[in-house]
Amino acid sequence: MESIATGWFAQVAATAFGLAVGSFANVVIYRSPRDGLSSFRPARSFCPHCNAPVRWHDNIPVLSWIALSGRCRSCRQPISPRYLVVELLVAALFLAAVVLWPPVDSDSMVRLGVAFYLATVCVIVTLVDFEHLIIPDSITWPGMVLGLLASLAFPVLHATHRGFHADQPHASSLIASVFGMVAGGGSLMVVGAIGNRLMKRKLQEAGVPDSMGWGDVKWMALAGTFLGVDSVLSAILIGCFAGAVVGIALKVVARVRREESPIGVPFGPFLSLGILAELVSPGLAFTLLASLARASAPA
């Protein structure tokens, strides 16, 4: 019989935990891009319209939004359905993580915790970048530090990576984390430099200083501390491919409508997609490329 810890109880617990984390993610999404606010101050949530503090019983994930019909109790102004969607999305990602990686031992618990963290940050980064075209330092810098410390404390995060030495697990894991950070951030810096050269004229006409934002660079440096070199590079390839497909589609639509083509789109959401894909299938981009090469090779 399936253990309770790896069965329905773990799935229910992960879903409930995901709803709570999703509620906090909404706070980060709203506050992190705004000056004068932090994710922890003020301590209580407040209505973005009238600034009235949200009572504890109006802050229950999903249920409170439904009970209030999506409106503030104080001013009756509408509360964006995004709050509901984020809570449900994070809960769904947490549930999927538990199904994919049941918590059967301490190592699997560590990997599951990292999956929870990265999935949550992917949701936050995606929505903040879409709305504000930035990825705040308050998300990326602490995340890099956390990734380095987690790698030092839990060598299992990088135990399968090349160059890992079982006789010095903590040092090896930390080195792999540092290399992943450098590979993630550094490779995007190279991509940005190439983009600046290829799109120099268009960027100058649009008044855009760089084709690649520093937030994207720091976002992938953060991811690299947890994923390591191979997986973070694979995540970037997936993000670049997805971004290119969407960018081309937007240009085609703009041409059909006889509108001016967009200079660019937020890249953070596509990088987040790559990170989620790497969590599910490490090295996915390289695996697909190898399969494509084999399929196209002459018989």
The distance in angstroms from the start CA to the end CA of the chain is 48
pLDDT for 89 equals 98
Q: How far apart are CA 54 and CA 44, in angstroms?
A: 7
Side chain identity at 194, as an amino acid letter? Answer: I
Residue 46 has φ and ψ, to the nearest 5°, of: -145, 160
> What ranges do the domains of the chain cover?
1-103, 135-299
If one counts every other C-beta atom within 10 angstroms of the C-beta of residue 186, the result is 14
pLDDT tier at 193 (50, 70, 90 boundaries)?
A: confident
If one counts every other C-beta atom within 10 angstroms of the C-beta of residue 248, the result is 10
pLDDT tier at 128 (50, 70, 90 boundaries)?
A: very high
Tell which phi-psi region holds residue 293, choosing left (phi > 0), alpha (psi between -120 and 50) or beta: alpha
pTM: 0.91
SS (H, E, C) 94-155: HHHHHHHCCCCCHHHHHHHHHHHHHHHHHHHHHHHHHHHCCCCHHHHHHHHHHHHHHHHHCH
pLDDT for 2 equals 47
pLDDT for 270 equals 96
Could you report the per-residue pLDDT of 51-102, keeping only the tens digit for each? 888 888 888 999 999 999 999 988 999 999 999 999 999 999 999 999 998 9
The mean predicted confidence, pLDDT, of the chain is: 89
Could you report the per-residue pLDDT of 196-228, keeping only the tens digit for each? 676 666 655 555 566 667 899 999 999 999 999
Q: How far apart are CA 219 and CA 88, in angstroms?
A: 24
Q: How far apart are CA 182 and CA 229, in angstroms?
A: 8
Helix 169-198 × helix 214-256 angle, to 10°: 40
Q: Where do the H-state alpha helices sit in 38-105?
A: 63-67, 82-100
Could you report the per-residue pLDDT of 21-50, keeping only the tens digit for each? 999 999 999 999 998 888 888 878 888 889
Could you report the per-residue pLDDT of 233-255, keeping only the tens digit for each? 999 999 999 988 998 888 888 88
Strand, coil or helix: 71: strand
Residue 3: pLDDT over 60: no
Lowest mean pLDDT among 103-107, 175-179, 181-185, 226-230: 103-107
Tokens of 30: 């709203």
If one counts every other C-beta atom within 10 angstroms of the C-beta of residue 295, the result is 7
